[in-house]
Protein backbone atom coordinates (compact mmCIF):
# COMPACT_ATOMS: atom_id res chain seq x y z
CA UNK A 1 0.00 0.00 0.00
CA UNK A 2 1.38 3.36 -0.98
CA UNK A 3 1.24 6.02 1.66
CA UNK A 4 -0.56 9.19 0.78
CA UNK A 5 1.11 12.54 0.52
CA UNK A 6 -0.76 15.81 0.63
CA UNK A 7 -0.72 17.35 -2.85
CA UNK A 8 -0.37 20.85 -1.40
CA UNK A 9 2.04 20.68 1.53
CA UNK A 10 3.64 17.27 0.76
CA UNK A 11 3.04 16.15 4.28
CA UNK A 12 2.52 12.46 4.77
CA UNK A 13 -1.05 11.44 5.45
CA UNK A 14 -0.73 8.47 7.76
CA UNK A 15 -2.86 5.40 7.36
CA UNK A 16 -5.95 5.74 9.48
CA UNK A 17 -6.09 9.51 9.11
CA UNK A 18 -8.93 10.76 7.00
CA UNK A 19 -7.81 12.41 3.79
CA UNK A 20 -9.56 15.14 1.81
CA UNK A 21 -10.22 14.32 -1.82
CA UNK A 22 -11.01 16.77 -4.60
CA UNK A 23 -14.21 15.76 -6.38
CA UNK A 24 -13.22 17.29 -9.71
CA UNK A 25 -12.87 14.46 -12.22
CA UNK A 26 -9.53 15.59 -13.64
CA UNK A 27 -8.01 15.30 -10.17
CA UNK A 28 -9.03 11.67 -9.93
CA UNK A 29 -8.18 10.19 -13.29
CA UNK A 30 -5.26 7.86 -13.91
CA UNK A 31 -2.30 8.43 -11.63
CA UNK A 32 -3.56 11.86 -10.59
CA UNK A 33 -5.33 10.88 -7.45
CA UNK A 34 -4.91 13.96 -5.36
CA UNK A 35 -5.27 13.79 -1.64
CA UNK A 36 -5.00 16.54 0.93
CA UNK A 37 -4.22 16.41 4.63
CA UNK A 38 -6.81 19.05 5.45
CA UNK A 39 -9.54 21.14 3.90
CA UNK A 40 -7.17 24.12 4.20
CA UNK A 41 -4.74 22.43 1.82
CA UNK A 42 -7.57 21.55 -0.54
CA UNK A 43 -8.66 25.20 -0.58
CA UNK A 44 -5.14 26.16 -1.63
CA UNK A 45 -5.31 23.60 -4.43
CA UNK A 46 -8.51 24.94 -5.98
CA UNK A 47 -7.13 28.22 -7.44
CA UNK A 48 -3.97 26.51 -8.71
CA UNK A 49 -6.04 23.88 -10.47
CA UNK A 50 -8.41 26.50 -11.91
CA UNK A 51 -11.52 24.65 -10.89
CA UNK A 52 -14.70 26.46 -11.74
CA UNK A 53 -16.82 24.39 -9.45
CA UNK A 54 -14.98 22.44 -6.84
CA UNK A 55 -15.94 20.49 -3.83
CA UNK A 56 -14.33 17.88 -1.68
CA UNK A 57 -15.08 14.76 0.23
CA UNK A 58 -13.42 13.59 3.38
CA UNK A 59 -12.36 10.01 3.04
CA UNK A 60 -12.46 7.92 6.11
CA UNK A 61 -9.61 5.48 5.89
CA UNK A 62 -11.50 2.74 7.58
CA UNK A 63 -11.56 -0.81 6.21
CA UNK A 64 -14.42 -1.37 3.78
ZN1 LIG B 1 -1.47 19.43 3.44
ZN1 LIG C 1 -8.87 19.39 -7.79
> Has residue 44 been placed in a domain?
yes
> Has residue 33 been placed in a domain?
yes
Classified as helix, coil or strand, 14 is coil
> Has residue 37 been placed in a domain?
yes
Q: What is the CA(20)–ligand 1 centre distance, in A?
A: 9
> Has residue 32 been placed in a domain?
yes
Q: What is the CA(16)–ligand 2 centre distance, in A?
A: 22
**3-28, pLDDT tens digit by residue?**
789 999 999 998 888 999 999 998 98
User: Per-residue pLDDT for 39 more than 90?
Assistant: yes
> Has residue 64 been placed in a domain?
no
Whether residue 36 contacts residue 8, with contact meaning beta carbons closer than 8 Å, is answered with yes
pLDDT at position 19: 93
User: Per-residue pLDDT for 64 more than 90?
Assistant: no
Domain count, the chain: 1
What region does 30 belong to: left with phi over 0, alpha with psi -120 to 50, or beta? left
> Has residue 53 been placed in a domain?
yes
Q: What is the CA(18)–ligand 1 centre distance, in A?
A: 12
> Has residue 13 been placed in a domain?
yes
Quote the domain boundaries for residue 42: 4-59
Amino acid sequence: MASLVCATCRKLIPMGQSAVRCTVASCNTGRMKLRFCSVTCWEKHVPTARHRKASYVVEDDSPA
